[in-house]
Amino acid sequence: MSEVFKGNFTQQEPLPEAAREAAMGVLRHGRLHRYNLAGEDAGEVALLEQEFAAFVGAKYCLATASGGSAIGVALRAVGVKPGDRVLTNAFTLAPVPGAIAAVGAEPVFVEVTDGLVIDLDDLAAKAGEAGVLLLSHMRGHIADMDRLMEICRAAGVVVVEDCAHTMGASWDGVPSGRHGAVACYSTQTYKHMNSGEGGLLVSDDEDIAAKAVLLSGSYMLYERHLAAPGPEVFARHRMEVPNISGRMDNLRAAILRPQLAELPRQIERWNARYREVEEGLRGTPGLTVVERGEAERFVGSSIQFLLKGWSGEAVGEVLARCLERGVELKWFGGPEPVGFTSAYGHWRYAETPELARTDAVLAGLVDMRLPLTFSVEDCALIARIIRAEVGTVFQAR
């Protein structure tokens, strides 16, 4: 009888006991708003910002209501205005171009390689078209950041990094998010720390950081931040920067602080599961494993593979056959957006010129979450199922 997987691809681990206790502490005193403090209490949000800044080696940090709100704040803080053009990956998730559109700017999509990173040759060709690159480290794949920054510096392009899938990752020893002028992270349930919704923004630029704090809705309470510039920096901006209100609250920050302390251990667990699936898929006829570079230290909370040159019908058959055996796969080449999965051609609020190389990649791109509720043995079983079903469809093509 064929093996069947019975796990849940959307079920996360329970929050750690320390997070639950911290949450109860906030609920007991009732001071959920980040600026509602008592006595010498710094507040959970300010402490989280201080701790996350130290974790990634940044001078400044701001906690926000979501990863998307962090991106929106970052774009405004670096000076993006309505009508501006902003470079970004053609392969990303909808909140990235959505944040550009929300500022009134226009996304300029850059091709993707079959390594699932931004195409640096296409970036170099388009670098003169915009003053900002919103770089998405989509699904945790990190491009050659040394070359990317050389291209952007030469063209005068400011880099904003979307690190929703690379919290805790690095490129050649540099933490993800520390190459550009500002970086944004997500703490949505399916990311590397879970507060339901939430975001973090880091920068070493004092003016960007001060503008971000003001934009997030600090009113004139910015001196209560621990990971922010001094009051003299805010004095330069406080009367000019609008309040668009996107703060994190103390309850979510309390949940996140114990998770941040555990993140290095969680990364090792994710990567053990990733490697089990990767090795199980390697060598499957018709299937291409996405190889990771030596300089890239990634966080394997999801895994992708390519069915290069396959028809949409054949890819759909693989997905259906795997689902019958309990393995839930996502496809970025589908004609319609499904759940969280969509492609640049679906975002009709943005100009979508044909990107032939990206289309060829997305046509065969299959994606799968790897929640920590799966054991390593579960991952071995999942790999066997995918390998068998890909093999069956490949032989029948």
CATH, residue 338 = 3.90.1150.10
The SS3 of residue 20 is helix
Residue 190 is classified by DSSP as: T
CA pair distance 330, 279, nearest whole angstrom: 20
β 85-89/106-110 pair status: parallel
Answer yes or no: is 281 within a domain. yes
Structure tokens at 113: 């390689």
CATH, residue 105 = 3.40.640.10
Which candidate, 44, 41, 42, places its Cα nearest to that of 19? 44
Answer yes or no: is 3 within a domain. no
- pLDDT exceeds cutoff 80 at 348: yes
**Overall average pLDDT of the 123-145 stretch:** 98
8 A C-beta contact, residue 273 and residue 370: yes
The SS3 of residue 252 is helix
Same domain? For 251 and 267 the reply is: no
Domains: count for the chain: 2
User: What pLDDT is recorded for position 246?
Assistant: 96
Q: What is the mean pLDDT of the chain?
A: 97
User: What pLDDT is recorded for position 327?
Assistant: 98
Same domain? For 346 and 252 the reply is: no
CA pair distance 170, 172, nearest whole angstrom: 6
- pLDDT exceeds cutoff 80 at 1: no
Structure tokens at 59: 């001078």
Query: Which of 236, 257, 278 is at the close of a domain?
Result: 257
Number of H helices, E strands in the chain: 12, 14
b/e for 168-199, b at 16 or more Cβ within 10 A?
A: bbbbeeebbbbbbbbbbbbbbeebbbbbebbb
Same domain? For 237 and 329 the reply is: no
Same domain? For 249 and 329 the reply is: no
Query: Which one-letter amino acid corresponds to residue 65?
Result: A
Query: Which of 257, 289, 322 is at the close of a domain?
Result: 257
Which domain covers residue 125, as residue numbers?
17-257
Cα separation of the two ends of the chain: 24
The SS3 of residue 236 is helix
User: What pLDDT is recorded for position 352?
Assistant: 81
8 A C-beta contact, residue 200 and residue 63: yes
CA pair distance 79, 368, nearest whole angstrom: 36
Answer yes or no: is 9 within a domain. no
8 A C-beta contact, residue 380 and residue 20: no
Structure tokens at 62: 């701001």
| pLDDT tier at 379, thresholds 50, 70, 90 | very high
Cα–Cα separations (whole angstroms), residue 264 to 52, 190, 197, 258, 267: 13, 17, 21, 12, 5
Residues whose CB is less than 8 angstroms from the CB of residue 149 and which lie 6 or more positions away in sequence, other chains included: 159, 179, 180
How do residues 284-318 score in pLDDT, each as one tens digit?
A: 999 999 999 899 999 999 999 999 999 999 999 99
Phi-psi region of 117 (alpha: psi -120 to 50; beta: other; left: phi over 0): beta
Same domain? For 173 and 24 the reply is: yes
CA pair distance 224, 92, nearest whole angstrom: 35
Structure tokens at 60: 């400044």
Answer yes or no: is 107 within a domain. yes
Please identify which residue in the block is written with the tokens 């750690």: 16
Q: In this prediction, what percent of the chain has a pLDDT beyond 70?
A: 100
Helices (H), the chain: 17-29, 44-56, 67-77, 95-102, 120-126, 145-155, 206-216, 231-237, 250-281, 312-324, 356-363, 376-396
Same domain? For 239 and 290 the reply is: no
Same domain? For 119 and 214 the reply is: yes
Cross-strand partners of 341:
338
CA pair distance 275, 200, nearest whole angstrom: 28
Answer yes or no: is 6 within a domain. no
Answer yes or no: is 7 within a domain. no
8 A C-beta contact, residue 175 and residue 149: no
Which candidate, 101, 76, 89, places its Cα nearest to that of 135? 89
**Overall average pLDDT of the 78-91 stretch:** 97
Which candidate, 307, 252, 299, places its Cα nearest to that of 281? 307
How do residues 174-191 score in pLDDT, each as one tens digit?
A: 999 999 999 999 999 999
| pLDDT tier at 386, thresholds 50, 70, 90 | very high
Same domain? For 234 and 269 the reply is: no
Name the pTM for this structure: 0.97
Structure tokens at 11: 């079920």
How do residues 198-242 score in pLDDT, each as one tens digit?
A: 999 999 999 999 999 999 999 999 999 999 999 999 999 999 999
8 A C-beta contact, residue 314 and residue 390: no
Q: In this prediction, what percent of the chain has a pLDDT beyond 90?
A: 97
Same domain? For 252 and 309 the reply is: no
- pLDDT exceeds cutoff 80 at 268: yes
**Overall average pLDDT of the 333-361 stretch:** 92
Same domain? For 251 and 274 the reply is: no
Same domain? For 103 and 240 the reply is: yes
Structure tokens at 75: 């774009």
How do residues 319-328 score in pLDDT, each as one tens digit?
A: 999 999 999 9
Query: Which one-letter amino acid corresponds to residue 165?
Result: H
Answer yes or no: is 11 within a domain. no
